[in-house]
Structure 1
Amino acid sequence: MILQLLREWPPGYGGVERVAHELALVWGGAVYSFDAQPQRRCEPDPLPVSYSRIRLPRLTVGRLLIPLPSRRWWTLLLSSQPLHGHLPSPGVLALLLLARLLRPRRRVTAHWHCFLERSPGLSGRLFALYQWLAQATLPWLSAVITTSPVLAAELARCGCKTDRIHVLPCCLSAEQESVALALPERQPAGNAAMAVLFIGRLDSYKRVDWLLEALAQLPQPWRLDVVGDGPKRAALAAQAQALVGSGAAVCFHGRLDEAAKLQCLARADLLVLPSDRCNEAFGIVQLEAMAAGMASLAFQRQRSGMGWVGQLEQFPWSQQPAALAEVLRQLQADPENRAALGRLSRQRYRRLFHRSVWSRQLELWNCAGSIQA
């Protein structure tokens, strides 16, 4: 039994919550959270939950969640069970360090999901301070999991001992994987409009605006399905209306359940994840696309593994924003290559990200004693 601690309410729709959810299904321990978005508790869980979820009282100061002492707080800190916390979160980091200080022999580990991109102003300086503290704290913990070789190398470069770092890529749920892999292989679409898919929160760093601008430069018809919601939806819809000509179509679906999302995956030719910050460190939606048999395009960032996830050696490109329009033009002009890249992407998924591979890697972590007390 391994306890987990994170900021959000799992399983949720974000990568951190989905990772914590899959680990909880295997580890069986309770999951403690600060319940950062309590309104989501009124929505049905997107994935079935079989483990205990416990909310910790907290004080909200802007975006900062400060855990408050309570019976649940003390139960978590004084337990002898292994504790695994998900970063980034100053509150989670503080409780991991407290747990380690109160019980020095306890296994206390961290899941390093991403490096934070420093932005201008006070918030950027605070992010930088948190990240410095987090990196300074890692040596005090028993071990750290991260999601890609790219992040592992960066953690090592920042001073974390390599023997304490374990790479465990994200995974899909068993049901998601099964239904995606069961979809038929993509066939060359001939003269049909290239179908592009985006899945994610419609926020500024996701850069759907860049995707729209790149698609608007294509010489032939295309269509774009946008799955997800967020604060930029209205602005993006207005941009799409201004850019789209008679030969293209953009559909904003909002947040979809798994069955409706699968339909979008089944009819798409290509997924694009145009995020421009290392806050997007993996992009689990790329796994959904690859398992469904389509290629995934993402940018290469120094402190992010998102460019590594769907990277195909048979289709080299710079993975930089300036090249996106040209790459889309190449893929639009060559339906047979699009279909071939989809098959290669599914092969890469089976080789690196299949649940059986994920389970073996997690078992190695457990057997090495990296988590167990």
Structure 2
Amino acid sequence: MKSIFHIGKYYSPFKGGIENFMQHLMVSQCKSRHRVMAMVHHHQPGLPFSQSEEEGIQILRLPILTKLVFVPLALTARRYFRQYIIQESPDVLHLHMPNVSCFWLLFLSEAKRIPWVIHWHSDVLGAAPDWKVKFLYPLYRIFEKALLRRANAIIVTSPAYLESSSALADFTHKCVVIPLGIEDLPTSAPKPVRQQDAPLKLLCIGRLTYYKGHDYLLSAIKTLQAQGRAVHLTLVGSGELAASIKSRLNKDGLADIVTMKSELSDQQVASELYECDVLCLPSIERTEAFGVVLLEAMRAAKPCIVTDVPGSGMSWVVQHGKTGLVVKAADANSLANAIAEFDLNREMLFTMGKTGRARYVSYFTVDRVASEIDGLYERVAFESRQ
């Protein structure tokens, strides 16, 4: 049995791909009889430090003063890190990056006595970063490099991301590729393929923000509507673009064939996946480092349409022509053509969905991923004793 101390940005009930993965991973580690705890931030300012046990995991939530450039500011993080590292004496610190609070560990002698594993979920700078992020990154990079130098190992989620990450270029000797994974669910009977005259049901799940590429997907839907194709798109998510997307639906006459939903429970999201024909993830930059929602779709035996963003793991998770279709990024016509291809050949929905489910079972179950990570813990613990 190991004592594992995860340090993350947020945790459930906050919804996000990293948060979903952390939860699935830690539950799996608990089932393997490890002692697991996590220190994360409250996702709302003004809440006091809290401690709770959820699914056998000790969850410590840090108070935050505010959020600055998408970053939760936890001024008491150093004190709580020190207190719980001394109290719990963990065997390994598992740092989920990016996360500014992790920088406090650089100033704690107690933390430096413990092996560190960094889980590199994404670079801070995307292809078109917010100007405030770009301005502050040189300062952030000083601490980021210090953290990477101190790490015993760095987990990267796909070969493509490792090859393209400039932030990791000097540290590839520490990097190991381990994909993300999610817990399997009892499988239901596959939903029968819809009749050719029934609307093709598309689903897009994710935060309503610029890099998710919703504009291109909506343009593709408008093109298909003009061609007379019967399609229906459900957008699941919330974010800063919600109002502008809703306005566009009304302006472009798409309100009848595009439905927006937000604040869905896990069970409701699973129901949306079961009811859909195809999952679309039209992201336009490598801020979309992996796409956990793709695993959710593959688990449900649904094919996916993704974009070929250089450096992103999307086109590695989804195999073109086998488990879905990979199309040109930021290209509405390519998206429209892929959707039309599924519409014309409904049997592809079943065959690619079935192959996707098999790929998920072979590579992306959380128990398999947790086993690989456990092996990494063993290696860094051994090397740190030498």
Classify the TM-score, shorter chain: 0.7 to 0.9
Query: In the alignment, which of 208, 223, 248 is matched to residue 239 of structure 1?
Result: 248
State the SS of the aligned residue for 2:171.
Answer: coil
Q: Pairwise mapping of residues 176-325 of structure 1 onto structure 2 (< 5 A)? A: 177-179=184-186, 181-184=187-190, 186-187=192-193, 189-218=195-224, 219=227, 220-244=229-253, 249-314=257-322, 317-322=326-331, 323-325=334-336
Aligned partner of 2:350 in structure 1 is 339
Structure 1 position 30 matched with structure 2 position 41: no
User: Which amino acid is the alignment partner of residue 215 of structure 1?
Assistant: I
Aligned partner of 2:15 in structure 1 is 13
State the SS of the aligned residue for 2:223.
Answer: coil
Identity of matched residues, %: 25
> CA separation of 1:317/1:328 partners in 2, compared to 1, >3 Å: closer, same or farther?
same
Q: For the residues of structure 2 that align with 1:326 and 1:131, how far apart are their CA atoms?
A: 41
Q: For the residues of structure 1 that align with 2:122 and 2:78, how far apart are their CA atoms?
A: 29
Aligned partner of 1:52 in structure 2 is 58
> CA separation of 1:253/1:130 partners in 2, compared to 1, >3 Å: closer, same or farther?
same
User: Which amino acid is the alignment partner of residue 97 of structure 1?
Assistant: L
> For this pair of structures, how many residues does the alignment match?
361
User: Which amino acid is the alignment partner of residue 233 of structure 1?
Assistant: A
- 1:14 is displaced (CA, Å) by 0.9
State the SS of the aligned residue for 2:310.
Answer: coil
TM-score (norm 1): 0.85
- 1:245 is displaced (CA, Å) by 5.6
State the SS of the aligned residue for 1:364.
Answer: helix
User: Which amino acid is the alignment partner of residue 269 of structure 1?
Assistant: D
Paired residues of 2:282 and 2:329 also in contact (CA < 8 A): no
Query: In the alignment, which of 354, 358, 371 is matched to residue 365 of structure 2?
Result: 354
Q: For the residues of structure 2 that align with 1:136 and 1:264, how far apart are their CA atoms?
A: 43
Unpaired stretches in structure 1, ≥5 consecutive residues: none
Q: For the residues of structure 1 that align with 2:216 and 2:382, how far apart are their CA atoms?
A: 42
Unpaired stretches in structure 2, ≥5 consecutive residues: none
> CA separation of 1:299/1:159 partners in 2, compared to 1, >3 Å: closer, same or farther?
same
> CA separation of 1:285/1:249 partners in 2, compared to 1, >3 Å: closer, same or farther?
same
Q: For the residues of structure 2 that align with 1:29 and 1:312, how far apart are their CA atoms?
A: 38
- 1:316 is displaced (CA, Å) by 6.0
Structure 1 position 110 matched with structure 2 position 118: yes
Please give the root-mean-square deviation of Cα atoms over the aligned residues, in Å. 3.0
Structure 1 position 167 matched with structure 2 position 177: yes
- 1:269 is displaced (CA, Å) by 0.8
Aligned partner of 1:326 in structure 2 is 337
Paired residues of 1:183 and 1:293 also in contact (CA < 8 A): no
- 1:255 is displaced (CA, Å) by 1.8
- 1:59 is displaced (CA, Å) by 4.2
User: Which amino acid is the alignment partner of residue 177 of structure 2?
Assistant: V
